[in-house]
Structure 1
Amino acid sequence: MADILIVNGVVVTVDPERRVIEDGAVAIAGDRIAAVGPTAEVAAAHPAPRVIDARGKAVLPGLIDGHAHAGHGLIKTLGGGRGDLWYQACETAYTVASTEAFWRAEAELAALERLTFGVTTGVSLLGGGDTILRTDDPAYGDAHCAGVVAVGTRSVVAVGPTRPPHPRRYADPERGTERLVGFEDQMTTCRRLIDRWHGSHGNRIRIALITPTLRDEHVSGLGAADLDAARAQAREVRALSRDRGLLFTQDGHTTGSVKIAHELGLLGPDALLSHATGLTDEEIAICAETDTRIVSNPSAVAAIMARCPVTELLEAGVTVCFGSDATAPDRSGDLFRHVQQGMHYHRTFHRDPSWLPPGKALEMVTIDAARALGLEAEIGSLEPGKKADVVLLDLRRPHLYPANMPVFRVVYFANGNDVHTVIVDGEVVLEARRPIRVDTDSVLDAAQRETELMLDRTGFRALLETSDGFWRTVRAGPEFRE
């Protein structure tokens, strides 16, 4: 006996045989998939009290976002595209201008965005900018995790120390507190968040560890003492990730930084490196030899400055997934957009439309992404025994017709707004495009309220003004290219 039976859909399994079942069904018992196959066969063997008719819909594994940032959802419009102002906003918001209510509201907003776009699992760094994380106190991570749980998606929350020099000034304007926070303070926060949240709520919340990426400019620009501290701290964070069996991740890898990470002993199959632009042949070989995983963010600014060699990495046998790097002034959490961007990005580079066919691109936000996160045994495909993370995508849409070649249509033409129903852990959390656990208006109102309060605290309202380089120009001014 099943609990939920999905029938009459086009089931895109992404299983080892990559079966696509035109009139297919998925039976769910508890939080697991009980059976996948033709509707007549599965329905006869697995009757259920709740039947979902997926006629006219594609039935997909839940999508997986390999890289995004918590906190960004409430500051994504600041600076109008100017990177210098955006980084300033990140650093201020994530150290001295955010409260627990800010992190809770942003978490619910970001999780709701993911949910409505069919993203059931995603990595979220607890901050951003140049690895400015809100790890001075576990209360902010607590608020973020509670917000994700309220919506019902899965999240891999990456926490860790900021870049040396330490200590760094942190404040909470609501509490009226201010203090200098050192590396050990941040490590204590990380340990507490691991103990409280990792594997909780049916494994919907997992904690990952992150340490700032060391690039050539840091090696040459940091003083000897700070550089030694950065190296020692990276090794300490990595040792903790291995000791606790956690995913280890780093943001902003580019030419030379993978080699530095390898020399520090940071790489391995439980390491996920983000962006990874401009990698040398030697660094591609290092990733293959160490079985290090890569997340490419094809819509990010970093992908404009240099290319992540996704196709070369894949041919070398490296596991690569896609990430949204959301949210930011120019990108959302809609993974369909980033998949399509990624395909065209590499085809343009090779001047050859045969690269990254749609099936491979879909794998990079399902089964390959699950493998990159170390969760391949649990999620990423529709197979008996795996967690019941399922997305129903409405194919009865003008841009998705005529009704042939369904997987081709899903990858090339679908967008997040086509998502109709989402199931996580066997629980229906989105139905007919409406979230079940939370009220959308309440989430939006809380996000707006906390954004306004943050703007009042920081004096950043001027960053909402449209710049002179917005209208009637072919290229924005030099301040946009700093």
Structure 2
Amino acid sequence: MTDILIQHGVVVTMDGTRRVIEDGAVAIKGDRIVAVGTSAELAISHGDAETIIDAGGKIVMPGLIDAHTHAGHGLIKTMGGGRSDEWYEVCHTVYTVASTPEWWRAEAQLAALERLRFGVTTAVALLGGGDTIMRCDEPVYGEAHLDGVAEVGTRSVLAVGATRPPFPRTYARFENGEVKEHATSFEDMFATCQSLVESQHGRLGKRLNIALITPTLRAEHEAGLSASDLADARAQGRRMSDFAREAGLVFTQDGHTKGSVAYARELGVLGPHALLSHSTALTDEEIAIVADTGTHIVHNPSAVASILARCPVTELLEAGANVCLGSDATAPDRSGDMFRHMQQCMHYHRTFHHDPSWLPPGRVLEMCTVDAARALGMADEIGSLEVGKKADVVLLDWRRPHLYPANMPLFRLVYFANGNDVDTVIVDGRIALRGRKALFVNEDAVLDTAQAQTEWMLDYCGFRPLLETPASFWGQVRAMDQVEARSLSGLKKN
């Protein structure tokens, strides 16, 4: 017997022909889609389903995929009020010496709940604030993150790896009320990655997975690192990339910009297993390198990096490269709402070209469904509504003022919808959200736990002054962050 039959919706399949079925239906058995067609057709073959969902007035689409986020940011995302120096200090302190497994689990639940509510069923999450402040000194923190996501019911590809030299790095754990600092080497972090791959990758029917990350190297690092540390960084990057290839894992790097892609080619870390984030100001040579090596790019149009320089998405696509979308969430000015980032992506590149014909809405929808699935090596599993694929399905309510009248559903979906229009989410064949209500976790409990963990962190670190609204918030044409920034030297650091 069929487990779930969704009927009478506008089904946006994202299959190879990009079929849209006006009065469509999707049948699910176990964790797989077993039929996609018209409501009349599936009523005959699957009308005895255990659960029947009437999708009248709704768009039925694949779960969205966010290919670049940061675990941890959800509990500190506005701290410092936009002052980057203070924000990075918070990240470094909290992610190394002021966070417990319970803290990471609470943040993971909060972020996963936000994504669930926005129809994002899969996310790549870096376990920390970038390539220099990863919480990979011990496996327990990655395990806590994945446990939190599992409880909410979404998918996670957790990126773990070592920081940039020099080593050792100081981390701290909390044991029986005591703080114990410990020096962490590259080998310690590599061992953490090996442990997480062995125990967590492919868990819960491939709903939880591990990716590997190593710091992006750019020209400034040659000047900023000693010769021995630079040699170590190069060797460590190759080792992590080789580990990913051998284990069949995604290998990702954060913060690519002009010159770094060519550098990565020299290191031998590019290829179909590689996913490079941001990738701004790439040269023509680097665009060709990306396309020729089959390397994937994740574009984050709402990130600060995209303000400082442009990711040449249209040029990459025309060269034959695969580009997907990421939110870079949740910090400090962006959410996990992929509808927002699709719209930002279109306007960003149309403004650059001074031409509204670039990046039609269907193209950006591909970037956070089928193209993202391809980048994660999961094209046979997720990203579209097709027979045999995992049943990751979103029902979006388009009987809403900003989406009416009910015509041209594809245009209304991409141009006007937002995450709060999502009504129902199915992940792996399980209904995780219905009527905008999470079914596997108590939302109030998730919020309260996140608040409690944040309050503990603020008091422990002495970071409450960073919650104050800066003077430049009102009446200013430009916030002079560096001029007005308060020094953290007087704040407690543990």
Task: Specify the TM-score bucket, using the shorter chain as the normaliser.
Answer: over 0.9
Match of 1:164 in 2: 165
Match of 1:45 in 2: 45
CA distance in 2: counterparts of 1:210 and 1:466, whole angstroms = 35
CA distance in 1: counterparts of 2:75 and 2:320, whole angstroms = 38
> 1:139–1:405: structure 2 CA closer, same or farther, 3 Å change rule?
same
Write out per-residue CA displacement over residues 70-110 of structure 1, whole angstroms, 9 at most, x where no aligned residue: 00000101111111111111111100000011001000000
Match of 1:106 in 2: 107
CA distance in 2: counterparts of 1:20 and 1:153, whole angstroms = 25
Match of 1:380 in 2: 383
CA contact 1:83–1:480 (8 Å) conserved in 2? no
User: By how many angstroms is 1:68 displaced?
Assistant: 0.1
Write out per-residue CA displacement over residues 171-230 of structure 1, whole angstroms, 9 at most, x where no aligned residue: 024552211000000011111111111000011100000000001111221111110110
What code does the residue aligned with 1:168 have?
A: R
CA distance in 1: counterparts of 2:132 and 2:484, whole angstroms = 21
Query: Over aligned residue pairs, what C-alpha RMSD do you find?
Result: 1.1
Q: Please say which of residues 239-248 and 62-71 is displaced more in the overlay.
A: 239-248
The reply on whether 1:429 has 2:432 as its aligned counterpart is yes
What code does the residue aligned with 2:301 have?
A: P
Runs of 4+ aligned structure 1 residues displaced above 6 Å come to: none
Q: Please say which of residues 38-47 and 225-234 is displaced more in the overlay.
A: 38-47
User: By how many angstroms is 1:120 displaced?
Assistant: 0.2
CA distance in 2: counterparts of 1:370 and 1:131, whole angstroms = 27
The reply on whether 1:16 has 2:16 as its aligned counterpart is yes
SS in 2 for 1:133: coil
What code does the residue aligned with 1:366 have?
A: T
Write out per-residue CA displacement over residues 242-267 of structure 1, whole angstroms, 9 at most, x where no aligned residue: 11111000000000000011100000
Match of 1:451 in 2: 454
Q: How many equivalent residue pairs?
A: 482
Unpaired runs of 5+ residues, structure 1, are none
Unpaired runs of 5+ residues, structure 2, are 486-494
CA contact 1:87–1:130 (8 Å) conserved in 2? no
Match of 1:128 in 2: 129
> 1:480–1:338: structure 2 CA closer, same or farther, 3 Å change rule?
farther
User: By how many angstroms is 1:283 displaced?
Assistant: 0.3
CA distance in 2: counterparts of 1:480 and 1:102, whole angstroms = 33
What code does the residue aligned with 1:223 have?
A: S
> 1:383–1:164: structure 2 CA closer, same or farther, 3 Å change rule?
same
Write out per-residue CA displacement over residues 242-301 of structure 1, whole angstroms, 9 at most, x where no aligned residue: 111110000000000000111000000010000000000000000001000000000000
What code does the residue aligned with 1:326 have?
A: A
What code does the residue aligned with 1:170 have?
A: Y
SS in 1 for 2:391: coil
CA contact 2:108–2:148 (8 Å) conserved in 1? yes
Match of 2:471 in 1: 468
SS in 2 for 1:67: strand
What code does the residue aligned with 1:355 have?
A: W
Match of 2:349 in 1: 346
| TM-score, structure 1 normalization | 0.99
Match of 1:77 in 2: 78
Match of 1:286 in 2: 289
CA distance in 2: counterparts of 1:70 and 1:140, whole angstroms = 11
SS in 1 for 2:355: coil
Write out per-residue CA displacement over residues 147-192 of structure 1, whole angstroms, 9 at most, x where no aligned residue: 0000000000000001110000000245522110000000111111
What code does the residue aligned with 2:201 have?
A: H
The reply on whether 1:92 has 2:93 as its aligned counterpart is yes
What code does the residue aligned with 1:137 have?
A: E
Match of 1:211 in 2: 214
CA contact 1:291–1:318 (8 Å) conserved in 2? yes
Matches within 5 A, 1:226-305: 226-305=229-308
Matches within 5 A, 1:279-428: 279-428=282-431
CA distance in 2: counterparts of 1:478 and 1:426, whole angstroms = 47
| TM-score, structure 2 normalization | 0.96
CA distance in 2: counterparts of 1:452 and 1:215, whole angstroms = 37
CA contact 1:11–1:23 (8 Å) conserved in 2? yes
User: By how many angstroms is 1:130 displaced?
Assistant: 4.4
CA contact 1:169–1:180 (8 Å) conserved in 2? yes
User: By how many angstroms is 1:129 displaced?
Assistant: 3.9
Identity of matched residues, %: 68
Match of 1:119 in 2: 120
CA contact 1:68–1:326 (8 Å) conserved in 2? yes
SS in 2 for 1:246: coil
The reply on whether 1:190 has 2:193 as its aligned counterpart is yes
CA distance in 1: counterparts of 2:8 and 2:138, whole angstroms = 49
